[in-house]
């Protein structure tokens, strides 16, 4: 359970010469911080008489952001597992017979597919956090609008970071249909989130005056 | 000591209806993750025969990234202190006499200056991490170049996030020379980091093929 580790110990492990945790774990934490900040803005808006008109909508946003936070927190550890599975498969004995060689290749390819889908799922979750940030930037308590801006920036960083891990694994996948399908979805997520993030950050900056 | 808290507990606190930790703490963690990933790439490059030519330079980068990581880790808690000081000053009795009123105003203004300088320092540190990411993206071990990309993206998110906290506090400062000087420095940091981040991320993406 990656989330039980202290922040300092996680940063020590991240900085170390071990390959995990790496950028994939950092991506998930960025996304989870974004989701947490969306929740914070909701929690500081719901129940305030001034914001009664948006209360029902922000309660729905809060339920979503808390679900995303839970999934992104789990994703911190998933990245390590997926990476270790790839390394484990590459480390298998190369095999003598064609059958043994083919079995090793199949295991490597299966691990690479998983190691592509895990960061792609992280990217999807981060993209959803970007969308929720938009609601809280527009409708949340003005006193904490800067936190909505940090939310979108963190979620976007998580998405851009996860994207690199999708690419690095997808390029070694022999099933090109599988790989190209994932890369196409990734491009769509990135393209939409890029323009949304710029707009949302701009809204927050304007509201700060 | 914010860094002794578990990742899960920090995220819970971030999401809660309490005002701290907030976006400022998330900004510092983003920066610290960026610095840690620069260190990781250095640690996985130094000592490898293939990279002997860049070893001396990456040892210097590593010393710098570890210094920045330590400072950014400390900055997680500094943000809470600065915010609490502002809230504490606003919460002081309004005072009866002009002297009492002036004393309260002076305390608020001093706290606001500190709450502007704290995220500005975080922004400076994140901007330094962006610069170090450039070196590791170009010269670090190719096997972990994606981590250099996550490093720059995390550091840039930390800078963009800290920037919002500089703005939110600077706007309430009556000493406009003080505020404008900080905002001008911030604009410079942002403008340089924005183009650098785009370039560095592009280099990483190209290297991933």
Please write the tens of the pLDDT for every residue from A130-139: 999 999 999 9
Please write the tens of the pLDDT for every residue from A151-191: 999 999 999 999 999 999 999 999 999 999 999 999 999 99
Q: Which of B155, B88, B189 is nearest to A157 (CA)?
A: B155
Q: Is pLDDT of B116 > 80?
A: yes
Adjacent-strand bridge partners of A6: B6
User: Across the interface, which of B2, B4, B160 has its CB nearest the CB of A153?
Assistant: B160
Tell me what the mean pLDDT of segment B22-29 comes to. Answer: 97
- Residue B3: the pLDDT is 85
pLDDT category of residue A2 using cuts at 50, 70 and 90:
confident
* A85, B31, B150, B196 from B155: Cα distances, Å: 29, 4, 8, 11
Average pLDDT, chain A: 96
Pairwise CA distance, residues A112 & A21, whole Å: 17
Inter-axis angle of helices A23-43 and A98-139, to 10 degrees? 30
Residue A75 is encoded by which pair of tokens? 């994703």
- Pick among A2, A5, A11, A201 to test the B interface (most B CBs inside 10 A): A11
pLDDT category of residue B209 using cuts at 50, 70 and 90:
confident
Pairwise CA distance, residues B65 & B60, whole Å: 9
Query: Are B7 and A167 a contacting pair at CB < 8 A?
Result: no
| Percentage helix, strand, coil for chain A under 3-state DSSP, each rounded to 5 | 85, 0, 15
- Residue B1: the pLDDT is 64
- Pick among B147, B155, B169, B206 to test the A interface (most A CBs inside 10 A): B147
Tell me what the mean pLDDT of segment B45-74 comes to. Answer: 98
Q: Is pLDDT of B12 > 80?
A: yes
- Output the CA torsion sign for A180, A185, A186, A192: positive
Q: Is pLDDT of A87 > 70?
A: yes
Q: Which of A85, A112, A115, A116 is nearest to A182 (CA)?
A: A116
- Is residue B136 a contact partner of residue B61, using CB atoms and an 8 Å limit? yes
- Quick count: other Cβ atoms within 10 Å of Cβ A180? 12
- Residue B19: the pLDDT is 87
Q: Is pLDDT of B148 > 70?
A: yes
């Amino acid at each position: 359970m990656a989330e039980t580790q202290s922040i300092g110990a996680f940063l020590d492990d991240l900085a170390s010469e071990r390959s995990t945790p790496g950028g994939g774990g950092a991506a998930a934490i960025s996304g989870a911080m974004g989701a947490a900040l969306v929740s914070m803005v909701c929690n500081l808006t719901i129940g305030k008489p001034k914001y009664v008109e948006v209360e029902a909508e922000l309660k729905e946003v809060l339920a979503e952001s808390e679900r995303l936070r839970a999934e992104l927190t789990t994703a911190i550890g998933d990245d390590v597992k997926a990476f270790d599975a790839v390394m484990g498969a590459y480390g298998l004995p190369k095999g003598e017979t064609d059958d043994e060689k083919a079995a090793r290749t199949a295991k490597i390819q299966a691990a690479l597919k998983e190691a592509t889908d895990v960061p792609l799922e992280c990217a999807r979750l981060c993209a959803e956090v970007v969308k929720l940030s938009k609601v809280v930037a527009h409708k949340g308590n003005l006193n904490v609008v800067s936190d909505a801006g940090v939310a979108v920036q963190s979620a976007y960083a998580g998405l851009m970071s996860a994207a690199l891990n999708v690419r690095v694994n997808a390029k070694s996948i022999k099933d090109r249909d599988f790989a190209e399908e994932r890369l196409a979805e990734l491009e769509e997520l990135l393209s939409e989130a890029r323009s949304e993030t710029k707009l949302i950050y701009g809204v927050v900056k304007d509201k700060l005056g």
